[in-house]
A = this chain, B = another copy of it.
């Protein structure tokens, strides 16, 4: 079957119309948060602030920039491991994230920052928009190389919407704590993406199997993504935590969990391979599972050794997932998961939700202090009578809600993405940049084609 992948009218149209829609909606709804508004000096006097440094900008902006790097360089380059899909990995990730953050500012704004008919945005909204888009980047990993940019923008529109609904249910209705997003970002994003790729199952994908591998330098590009995700994950998990000790603690816990995870990833990468050699796929991905799995609990009193234990387990689970579970998912469940997000985000995300529920349920006044406990779990107002046990129960409920939203939402969105006019590539053109990109001239010289192991270099 010949597929029509000609993008010339479809892609520009969707980009322009949707961006115009953003402009109109921003014009109607979006204004600056008081801390970013020129009236702030007047608020200053009313709030008895003594210094500009009290502006939330200074508490969160460095973390925001780190998160921003994770979304665009981290996820973008992590996916450049494919030998002939580097442009698509970095470029489509760029496109969907740039659209997604705008739509997320609106969706999350309506739910969380809506006052007197206006959405008021500040640095925390920017971080949350990046977080929301992070879940789309995760889902993109499952369908990497198999979708058109129009499909990806469509996916982004729907997934951001569902993310915001799910987040609202968890954070606002169930009073769940999930500052680093084990549930809202990773569990939701990964199971959503896995469901979508299941719906989009391609029985003849082995036609492009030879392009699904990496080449030497593409693996090094991917390591840029890995390392930026790994290094900045402490910022990710602490970016929207409470000011002060909570941000501080979240960074420390994440640092510890990630360090531990590297060791068990290396151990199992070597152990599960007969020749005992290390596999770059594991190093690029499973080393990050420790960050995913403390996403909920990092701001709690998980303690450094607790974090080491979580990281220890996740390195094992994630690496074993790549070796044993991924082939099973593909052959038995027809889930073709290009980047292995099941191993990096889905399983560690679930673990993260569980660790968060247990850590919350185990909280005591002795460990947190009276004031600390109230502040850590926001046991004020309607929730002033909540106990850690109740909190733990609602945390657990959050896992199931996220899973349900992901599976139901992914099924619907997957079906939408099957619409024929969205321009998906034929099976033999998957994992191949030149369907949607102008590819430079080294193709002619033989170098680009040489990446294809079935071809020999051009000789005179």
Contact = CB atoms under 8 A, between A and B. Distances in A.
Contact of A73 (B76, B87, B227, B251): B227
By size class, the interface of chain A is 35 or more
Interface string A424-460: 0000000000101111111111111011110111111
A216 B126 contact: no
Contact of A19 (B42, B86, B260): B260
Interface stretch (A184-192, A329-337, A363-371, A391-399): A363-371
Given A27-B305, A72-B227, 4 more contacts: A11-B276, A57-B251, A102-B260, A220-B221
A174 to B, nearest CB: 22
Given A53-B53, A58-B59, A273 B38 contact: no
A413 B72 CA distance: 38
Contacts of A164: none
Contacts of A22: 260, 308
Contact of A271 (B8, B19, B56): B8
A123 B259 contact: no
A252 interface: yes
Interface stretch (A136-144, A229-237, A403-411): A229-237
Interface string A251-281: 1100110111011101110110111111110
A264 B15 contact: yes
Contacts of A35: 244-245, 248
B243 A52 contact: yes
A114 interface: no
A16 B375 contact: no
A73 B226 CA distance: 10
7 contacts: A8-B271, A11-B267, A39-B372, A40-B245, A41-B371, A122-B252, A442-B451
A368 to B, nearest CB: 4
Given A65-B62, A267-B11, A301 B371 contact: no
Nearest to A22: B308
Contacts of A247: 55, 57
A456 B460 contact: yes
Interface in A47-79: 50-59, 61-63, 65-66, 68-69, 72-73, 76-77
Interface string A301-316: 1011100110010000
Contacts of A264: 15-16, 19
Contacts of A38: 245-246, 249, 301, 367-369, 372-373, 375-376
Contacts of A276: 6-9, 11
A140 to B, nearest CB: 15
A316 to B, nearest CB: 9
B227 A76 contact: yes
